Chain A
Amino acid sequence: MPFNQALRLSSVLLAAAAFIGLALGTNLPEWLLLLTGSSLIVTLLRTLGVDRLRRVLDRIRLSTAAWNVLTVIAFAGFWVDLLWVSADLLPAGVHFLLILMVIKLFNLDQRRDYLHLYAISLMAILGSAASTTDLWYLPVFLAYLLMGVWTLLLYQLTKESDAGPTPPSLPDKSALVLRGREEITPELFWLANGLAVGALCLTVLIFFTIPRVSAGFGQKGSGEGLRTSGFSETVDLGMIGPIKRDPGIVMRVELPDRTGVQMDRFYLRGMAYDRYDGKSWTTRLSHRRALAESPAGTFTVRHASARSPRPLGQIIRQTILLEALDTAVLFAAPYPESISGQFLAIQSDPTGAIYLPFPASARLEYTVYSRPAAVASADLQFQPALYTEVFAQHFLQLPESSERVGALAQEITRSKTSAYEKAQAIEAYLSRNYRYSLDISPAVQTRPLEEFLFERKTGYCEHYATAMVVLLRNVGVPARLVTGFLATEWNEYGNYYLVRQRDAHAWVEVHLPHSGWVTMDPTPAVSETVGDSQWFALSRVVDTLRLRWNRFFVQYNAADQLAVVRGLKEGTTVVRDRAWSSFSSLLAPAGDLAGRILRHVAEGNVRLMTGFLSFVVLGVGLVVWLMQRKPWDRRRRTDPISRERAIIAQIYHGVLRQIARNGIPKPRNATPREFLQLVQQQWAAAGESVSTITELYCRGRFGKVILTQQEIDLAYHNLRQLTLLDPPLR
C-alpha cells in the first residue's frame, strides 16, 4: 500500500477509534451517530479503493470556502446546542466535535487537514475518557494508540520526502516516498506495531510509577508514614533523643498573621501524658470522642478540662501541611479551638489532643485556629486550690520516688507561695543548673530521673520536662508532660515554619486555678545543631518551591477538577441567561416572531413551517453561493495558474535541494537555465532529469499556460529519478 493511502487509512481509523469511544461513553443523539458513523464508513471504503465511490465523492467535492461556511454554521449550532438544546458544555462540545470530524473527513486534502483531524480525534478520545470508567474503554484506547503510532509514523514519512507537502490537486498519484520505497514493507509494518506496543508498555510503566494525585510508590514515607517517636500511648524516657538529629521534614506550618506569636519558639502540641511510673510516661485519658462538625467542614474542639473561663489571647491561624506519619495525632499550636480540612471525622481526648481516626497514608493539609493560654492576673498571687480526686489522681500522681526528689522540690520552691511562682522557680532552676546534651547513653537506666537530677545533671527535653512535672507534683501543683514539636526554622521566603524530625520536643503544662493549663518549658534554648549557612538559605528557597508544587499541582485532585467543572457549568448557565436576556431585549420583535413561528409549529401549521424552512434553506444556499463565487473578490486567490505555479515551484525547489545535497548549490544570480548548464557540466547523470524539470518549471512558473497532469507527473517522475541517482564524481 502506498504511504499516502496508508496515511489516509490510518487517519480515518484513528478518527473511527475516537468516535467509537465517544459513542460508547456518551449519550449521542441517533442522527449524529448515524451521520458520523456513515461518514466514517464511506471515507474508509473510499480510502480502501472502492472506485465507484471515489468517483461519486469526487463529483460532490465542495470548495474550501463552502467547507468553511459549513464549519461556521456548525459553530453557530454549537452555541444553540450549548444554550438551549443540551444546555451543557460537555455534550454540546462533543456534538460539535463530531460535526467537525465529519467535515474534516470529507475535506481531507492537505496535510493541514490531517493535523486538524488528529486534533479532533485527540479531543474526542479525551472526551470519552472523561465520560467513562468502564473496561471497554481499554480496547478502544489500545486501538487509538496503535493507530496513533501508525499515523505519526506515516505522517512523518510522507513529510520527509523531498517534494515537500503533497500538492493539493494530487492526493494519491504523486506520492513521493523515501528512496523509492513506495510500499509498506513487512519490516515497516512490524516496526510500527512494535513501536505501538513499546509505547503502551511505557505508558503502563508510567501509569504505575509516576506519583499521581498525592501519593506514589516511590514517595518517601508513603504507605507506612514517617516513623516518629513520642506520640503513642506510652513514651519511654529517652525515646526522643535518638531522633533529635534526623532532619527529615515532618510538616510545614503557614502563619498568615504573625502578630502575637512568639516567633523563636513556636510550639506544636501533640499529646499530653499524665502518668509517670519512673521509667515511662503513659496517658490514661486516651478515650477519644468524635468532634462535632459544623457546616463548612470545620470541627470545633471543646476543652473538657478547662472549666474556668480562659483568658482571651490572640487567635492564631495556622495552615499545616503534614507529611504522612505513623501516628494519628494532628499537631497544632496550643490550644486548638477549631480545625478544618478534608476530614471525614476528627477525634479528641480529654487532654485536648486531636486525632484522625487512623494514621493518614498521604500528606494532608488542614487549618487550625488556636488560642494560646495566657496567665490570668489572679494566678500571680497565692490562690488556694482544691482539686477533685479524679483530677488529682491524674495530674498529681507520682512514681515511687526517692526522698531526694521531694526534698529538692521543697528546697527550690521554699519561698514561693503561688503555684505559678513555684512553677517559674522550678523552670528557672532546671534550665540554669542542668546542661543540655544529646549524648546520653541509651543504656537502660533503672531510675533515669534521679540519675538526671543528681548525678549526671545532663540531659535533653524529655529529662527536663519529666523532672519539672515530678518536682511540681511533689509540691502539689498539677502538671503533665506534653510531646510535640518546637518549630524554630522560619522560612522567610514562603512565610512558614519548616518542622523536622529533630524538632520533636517535650515540655510541661502546668494547671493554674484561674488560667487553666499553661505551657512552660524548662529546657534551655539550644543553639542550632546545624549552622545557619548559605546552604540553609538555599534549601529554604528550594523547600518553598516544594511547598508550592504540592499546593498547586499535587494536591490538585479530582475534587478540584469537579469544582472547576461545576464552576464552568454555573458559568455557562449565567452566560446563557445573560445572553438570552440581552438577545430578547435587543431583538424583541424578532424574538416575538420566532415565538409566534414556534407556536405555529407547535400547533402543526405545516404551510407556515415549510415556508419558513424554505426561506432558511434559500438563505443558506445564497450564502454558500456567494462564498463560492465571491463576486466581491475580483482577484481570485485560488486561480488555477497560481496553484499550478505553486506545485511546479515546489517540485523545482525539491530539485534544487536534491542537487544541493549532492554538492551543487544553485548560485543566487543564476537563472534556471544557467543552473541547468552548471549541473550538466558537473553532474552529467542528472542532466536529463534536471533539463526536463527546468523546462517544465520555466513554462509553468513564468508562462501563462497551465501544465497538464501528465507534465506534472513527468516532473515528479524526474524528481524521483534524481533521488535515485548516484552522487556526481568528484
Chain B
Amino acid sequence: MKSTQLVSSIQENIARVIKGKSKVIELTVVSLLARGHLLLEDVPGVGKTTLAHSLARSLDCSFKRIQFTSDLLPSDIVGVSVFNRQKQGFEFVPGPIFANIVLADEINRTTPKTQSSLLEAMSEAQISVDNQTHPLHQPFMVIATQNPAEYHGTFPLPESQLDRFLMRVQIGYPSPEEERKVLERPQSLHPAEALQPVATAQDVLALQQQVDDVLMEDSLMEYLLAIVLATRQSDLLSLGVSTRGALALSRAAKALAFVRGRAYCLPDDIKELAPAVLSHRIMVSRSQGLRHRSFEQSEQIIQDLVESVPVPV
C-alpha cells in the first residue's frame, strides 16, 4: 500500500535524527495527518526543535521558525501591510506564519496578545490584516514548544488556548545508549539539514484526505464519548474535555489507525491516544492541586479515567 509506505518512510526519515523516540515521532506524524497542531512540552535541549525541523525537512515543504520573546508583536507573526510607492497602495507582506510547518519556539515567553494571534491562525487556517483575509498554506501545522521548568517571565497558555493543540507530547530524555549515538554523530552539520524529503505537500494533503475515510465503528464512537463523559463527571477535574477535545480524539485515533496501516479504528487507538490528546484540555480540581498543572498528574488522571471505561467487545 503506497500511502502506508509513505507514512512509514516519513517516520523512518525523522528517526534518523531523533534517536529512540519512535513513539514521539509517530505522534508527530499523527498530528500532521489529523490536520492538528502539536505542543511539545519539555525541558530545553531534548530535541523539540530538531523534531520540528526534521519533520519539515522530510516533507519537502516550507518551514519557518518563530522564536517567541516577550517583545514579539502579532505583526511579527502574521505579517504587515506596507505602503508600496510604485503601486500607490498598501501591500501585505506575509509574516513567518505563511509556511507549511511553523515552529513556535517557547510559545509561553510572549505576551498573551501575540499568543492569541498565533492561536487564531491555528484554528482558522487564515489570518485577517486590515480587513483582508489571507488563507494560510496547506498543509499547515504549528509545532509549539514550551518549557515547563521556567516560570520567570513566562505567560502560561490558558486551557482555552491549549485546546487548539491536537495533542501535547513530552519528549523526555533519551536512554543512555541512544544518547551515546547522538554524541557519536559528526557535529559539524545539523543532523536535520542532511535529511532528504520523502514526501511532498501534495502527498500530505492526500494522506490527510485518506485519514478522513478511516472507519470508526459505532461502538467505538460510544466508547470515545464515554471517556469524554467520564472526564466531565470526574471529581478530580474541575474542567472536563470539550466537544473540540472529543473531535480531536476521534481525528487523532483515525490518524493513528492510518499510520499503523489500518483502515479502521480499534479501541486500542483511542485508549492509547487519550492521555496525549486530552490531558492538556482538563483542569485538575484544586483539591487535587499538589503541583500546579503538572503534566504527569493530568496524564495519570486521564489514564485512570480511561481504564474505568469498559471497552466494547
Chain A residues engaging chain B, CB cutoff 8 angstroms: 649, 652-653, 656, 666, 668-674, 698-699, 701-705
Contacts and interface: CB of A to CB of B under 8 A. Distances in A.
Given A652-B313, A666-B313, 13 more contacts: A649-B313, A656-B313, A669-B306, A669-B307, A671-B311, A672-B268, A672-B313, A698-B266, A701-B217, A702-B215, A702-B265, A702-B267, A704-B264
A715 to B, nearest CB: 15
Contacts of B313: 649, 652-653, 656, 666, 672
Interface residues of B, number: 18
B271 interface: yes
Given A671-B271, A673-B268, A674-B268, A704 B263 contact: yes
Contact of A702 (B264, B271, B309): B264
A673 B266 contact: yes
B308 A702 contact: no
B308 A669 contact: yes
Contact of A668 (B263, B306, B311): B311
A420 to B, nearest CB: 96
Given A649-B313, A656-B313, A668-B311, A702 B266 contact: yes
B29 interface: no
Given A702-B215, A702-B217, A703-B215, A671 B266 contact: yes
Contacts of B45: none
Interface string B253-281: 00000000011111110010000000000
A303 to B, nearest CB: 88
A222 to B, nearest CB: 63
B176 interface: no
Contacts of A649: 313
Contacts of B306: 669
B53 to A, nearest CB: 34
Nearest to B217: A702
B267 A671 contact: yes
Interface in B289-313: 306-311, 313
A653 B217 CA distance: 18
Contacts of B308: 669
Nearest to A668: B310
Nearest to A652: B313
Max chain A C-beta neighbours (<10 A), residue from B266, B271, B307, B313? B313
Contact of A703 (B262, B310, B311): B262
Contacts of B265: 702
Given A702-B265, A704-B264, A669 B220 contact: no
Q: Which 3 A-B pairs have the closest CB atoms?
A: A703-B264, A668-B310, A671-B267
Nearest to A669: B307
A191 B262 CA distance: 52
B294 to A, nearest CB: 24
Contacts of B264: 699, 702-704
A699 B260 CA distance: 13
B268 A671 contact: yes
22 contacts: A649-B313, A652-B313, A668-B310, A668-B311, A669-B306, A669-B307, A669-B308, A669-B309, A669-B311, A671-B266, A671-B268, A672-B266, A672-B268, A672-B313, A674-B268, A702-B215, A702-B266, A702-B267, A703-B262, A703-B263, A703-B264, A704-B264
A649 B307 CA distance: 22
A653 B312 CA distance: 12
A272 B302 CA distance: 102
Contacts of B307: 669
Contacts of A671: 266-268, 271, 311
Nearest to B270: A671
Nearest to A701: B217
A678 to B, nearest CB: 13
A666 B306 CA distance: 16
A701 B262 CA distance: 13
Contacts of B310: 668-669
A649 B217 CA distance: 14
Contacts of A669: 306-311
Contacts of B217: 701-702
B268 to A, nearest CB: 5
Contacts of A653: 313
A702 B271 CA distance: 15
A703 to B, nearest CB: 4
B9 to A, nearest CB: 24
A672 B219 CA distance: 14
A3 to B, nearest CB: 28
A672 B220 CA distance: 13
Contacts of A652: 313
A701 B312 CA distance: 10
Contacts of A703: 215, 262-264
A21 to B, nearest CB: 47
A705 B217 CA distance: 12
A702 B220 contact: yes
Contacts of B266: 671-673, 698, 702
A520 to B, nearest CB: 89
Nearest to B267: A671
Nearest to B310: A668
Contacts of B262: 703
Contacts of B271: 671
A673 to B, nearest CB: 5
A704 B268 contact: no
A405 B308 CA distance: 107
Contacts of A672: 266-268, 311, 313
